[in-house]
Structure 1
Amino acid sequence: MQRLIVLMVWVLTGCSVGHYEYSKEAQKRVDMTVTGIPTVLGLGTLGTTIPLTADYSLTAAHVAKFSLYRVKAWHPECDLAVVYHKNSEVNLPPTFRNSHIGDRVNLYGYSFISAMPVSSSGENLINTTLANSWNKAACVVVAANAGVVKGMSGGAVYNASDDTLAGVIVGYSDRINDNKSGKTLYKNVALYVPYARFESWLAQAVKS
């Protein structure tokens, strides 16, 4: 298999990729958190968290760092963190299952633009590297042709076939290039950390 690399473009070309829409279902599955420093103008940034237990939630590390939640555990390689958060015990804990390339997935989070719960759907396209300040090269992520808007980071990716939790949204990219040829393989994709990359870490983080 050829080595692939993601070229990330966060908000330089906009704050979203693909199609997403308002979703009551997203409101049931994820929570909104305010990150950054609020101002008198109400400015700030939104992020998303995933309820895990009555006391903990899972989110992206870059959301946790700037949120008001206390962090329980940071993933050593991936853009993930477990934070302290009181959750309703209804439908907890979620059931996890690793997804596969070609599988359909549903994404849930909150929009920075509207501060409303949103969702999108798509297909897993490829596993790829993502090296930035929050992810080490060892943290392979999945690219899916689903819509993502700023604010959905830390949100949930569910397997469409059995409604199990497949991973955590960490961002999006305007393109994925082949590292050898430079050819663009996919455009405007969502990026998420798959369950396989954090299964052991999560079990230990919640248990300890």
Structure 2
Amino acid sequence: MLMNVLHLTSLVILLVLQGCVSSNGKLAQAGSDAPFVHYLPIGIPYVFGGHGTSVPLTSEVSLTAKHVAELDYSRVIAYHPHCDLALIEQDNRTKPLPTLGIIYSYQSVMTVGKDMFGNTLIGEGQYYRDIYLPGHELFEQCPASIADAPVQSGMSGGGVYNSNSELVGIISAKVYEVRLQDGTKIETERISLFVPLLFVRGWLIDELAEFYASTQQSSGQSQALLSTDFLLDTEAMKRNIQNRNR
């Protein structure tokens, strides 16, 4: 996530949100040690197959995809102005909370979300790079992180975790193909997109502070658990890398 984000001026892309019925790869049933995620019903799930996933963040707040929160019954605390991300109110007092972390290119990732029956599914793969997708409302002003870990219907709003089981992103969509302006095709077995939480770090911290200040709730864990890496000065790190490459 610390690598330069690629700006695409034109592309050929087929993007399908996770409301579709198929997966883009083999998923497994999660074991007892998998990160906890919530099932979010949308409409009449068993009739229309509508549901999403959310990830606990604090004792009273969870993260999910914006396009899930717009249809879900949960109380929305805040939508990110540009990213497919929302904070919702949810009772997580007895749930394990993740630590937020970061990830580097070609490191392993795990996608975690719910199927229509409420089972937790996991997919494994690698994180590649971040891109912007001009002309697409979800990713024109927010980077889309590319991974080849599979996802399927209902996993939108679920978590993406690094090898230390730290939360690094929120599942947003899957893509069949991305072709750059020069005709180069991004070659991976599959392309799943997630919102990188490092990009929205300031927004997360500010919105949580405002929520707890306005509601005066103080029970349990009221701040997100942030790893040391998540709090690093990433802009300074980028400048150092650029200086070394000159």
Fold conserved (TM > 0.5)?
A: yes
Q: Which amino acid counterpart does residue 148 of structure 1 have in structure 2?
A: V
Mapping 1:3-14, distance limit 5 Å:
3-4=7-8, 5=11, 7-10=13-16
Measured in 1, the distance between the counterparts of 2:141 and 2:113 equals 26
Equivalent residue for 1:123, pick from 123, 126, 137: 126
Local SS of the residue matching 1:58: strand
Could you say which residue in structure 2 is the equivalent of 1:158?
161
Residues 1:200 and 1:167: Cα distance change in structure 2 (over 3 Å): same
Structure 1: give runs of 5+ residues left out of the alignment.
none
Could you say which residue in structure 2 is the equivalent of 1:65?
70
Measured in 2, the distance between the counterparts of 1:110 and 1:67 equals 14
Count the aligned residue pairs.
Answer: 203
Residues 1:63 and 1:14: Cα distance change in structure 2 (over 3 Å): closer
Matched, 1:169 2:171: yes
Shift of 1:179: 2.5
8 Å CA contact retained: 1:111, 1:151: yes
Equivalent residue for 2:29, pick from 22, 29, 39: 22
Shift of 1:133: 6.1
Equivalent residue for 1:87, pick from 79, 85, 92: 92
Identity of aligned residues (%): 28
8 Å CA contact retained: 1:6, 1:173: no
More strand as a share of residues: 1
Measured in 2, the distance between the counterparts of 1:143 and 1:64 equals 22
Residues 1:13 and 1:47: Cα distance change in structure 2 (over 3 Å): closer
Matched, 1:102 2:109: no
Measured in 1, the distance between the counterparts of 2:134 and 2:120 equals 28
Over the aligned positions, Cα root-mean-square deviation in angstroms equals 2.5
Residues 1:173 and 1:163: Cα distance change in structure 2 (over 3 Å): same
Shift of 1:22: 1.2
Q: What TM-score do the two structures reach when normalised by structure 2? A: 0.74
Shift of 1:13: 8.6
Q: 1:48-104 deviations in whole A, cap 9, x for unaligned?
A: 000111111100000000000010001011000000111134433x21112111110
Q: 1:106-158 deviations in whole A, cap 9, x for unaligned?
A: 1100124x442100110012212245665141211111111110100000011
Matched, 1:202 2:210: no
Local SS of the residue matching 1:202: helix
Residues 1:190 and 1:136: Cα distance change in structure 2 (over 3 Å): closer
8 Å CA contact retained: 2:40, 2:53: yes
Measured in 1, the distance between the counterparts of 2:92 and 2:161 equals 19
Could you say which residue in structure 2 is the equivalent of 1:192?
194
Local SS of the residue matching 2:15: coil
8 Å CA contact retained: 1:176, 1:187: no
Could you say which residue in structure 2 is the equivalent of 1:145?
148
